[in-house]
Amino acid sequence: MAVYTDVSDDALEEFLRLYNVGQLLWCKGIAEGVENTNYILATDKGQFILTLYEARVDENDLPFFLGLMNHLAENGLETAKPIMQNNGLLFSQLCGKPAALIEFLDGMAIKAPSHQNLFQLGVASAQFHLKAKSFNIKRKNGLSLKDWRPLLKSCGGDIDKVAPDVDGGLQNFLSLELDFLEKNWPQELPNGVIHADLFPDNVFFMHGELSGIIDFYFACNEVYAYELAIVINAWCFEKNGELNLTKSRAFFKGYQSVRKLEQAELEAIPILCRGAAIRFLLTRLYDWINVPEDALVIPKKPDEYIRNLGFHQRIVDYKEYGIE
């Protein structure tokens, strides 16, 4: 989440009249993240999240994103639900951008998740995959394997200076990894709708229990095991770069308590982890280079994912991730 588009009080009050949410009391920007413009606001009927969708989000995808959130909430998954306008729509225009109002979700992201939290996340991830099976809209992954090389090219030819300590240069390191992934990417694994951005800041906990999943704007149809690879990268590495096997093991136990992984999925985990690492490395690299100077935003350098990718390149067997 972030703030790229400034919304005046008059424009906001006019937008809120499209809903039955009461009178505006206050509103403030949310600085975390790098994708969309987000505000938290309060009315005399409660608190809400206002999201304005920036350039990376295609307006044509919003029926999928918002419809999926609504579908999962109605089917019992702990997630924020989009607020329907008086005319039955889930989004409209605000300051020239498509915008939606989302219910405020109790809880907060945690910076030091425990292995119990990872088990809960595993359970919720599997429930997400199973409950989304009955969702009847599909969306291709807009940041899949075929998109990574063009994304690298869009970062320009001077990226070595972003990470000067990479042996042989960052450009060469990434190009060689893409060569490998393009030749070895697994095919025909079980697939369906995944969240595709299950980072700690997109999962809320309250009183030690998982209270909800937010930020569905990368959700897509993809292999389920790729979701698990994203979680390993985002949740299971310590600050010193070591994989926390206790957390990784707990996550997979939680997931498989709901949905048992096939052997082919297990064997694909190491290469999917490499793919997940380079996908987030590339988007962080692009955002680090291109974030607007006047945006109220916290850009993230790609260093963490350069390190993660190097770790995954040394893995030989999926059991090295603590999977039993």
Please give the average per-residue pLDDT across 137-161, as a whole number.
96
Number of C-beta neighbours around residue 254 at 10 A: 22
Contacts of 120 (CB under 8 A, 6+ apart): 205, 209, 210, 254
Residue 54 pLDDT? 87
Query: pLDDT higher for 292 or 288?
Result: 288
Is residue 297 scored above 70 in pLDDT?
no
Is residue 2 scored above 70 in pLDDT?
no
54: left (phi over 0), alpha (psi -120 to 50) or beta: beta
Is residue 1 scored above 50 in pLDDT?
no
Superfamily name and number for 9-103: Phosphorylase Kinase; domain 1 (3.30.200.20)
CA distance 263 to 278: 24
What residue ranges of the chain are covered by domains with CATH 3.90.1200.10?
A: 115-321
Is residue 34 scored above 60 in pLDDT?
no
CA distance 79 to 73: 6
Please give the average per-residue pLDDT across 145-150, as a whole number.
98
What pLDDT band is residue 275 in, cutting at 50, 70 and 90? very high
Do 85 and 92 meet the contact criterion of CB atoms below 8 Å apart? Answer: yes
Please give the average per-residue pLDDT across 4-31, as a whole number.
93
pTM: 0.92
Structure tokens, 83 = 């607020």
Please give the average per-residue pLDDT across 143-150, as a whole number.
97
Do 118 and 144 meet the contact criterion of CB atoms below 8 Å apart? Answer: no
What residue ranges of the chain are covered by domains with CATH 3.30.200.20?
A: 9-103
Is residue 67 scored above 50 in pLDDT?
yes
What pLDDT band is residue 55 in, cutting at 50, 70 and 90? confident
Please give the average per-residue pLDDT across 116-135, as a whole number.
98
Is residue 3 scored above 50 in pLDDT?
yes
pLDDT digits (tens, 9 = 90+) for 192-240: 999 999 999 999 999 999 999 999 999 999 999 999 999 999 999 999 9
Number of C-beta neighbours around residue 140 at 10 A: 10
Residue 301 pLDDT? 87
CA dihedral 219, 220, 222, 224 (to 10 degrees): 40
Q: Please give the CATH topology (third level) of the domain spanning 115-321.
A: Aminoglycoside 3'-phosphotransferase; Chain: A, domain 2 (3.90.1200)
Please give the average per-residue pLDDT across 17-22, as a whole number.
97
Mean pLDDT of the chain: 94
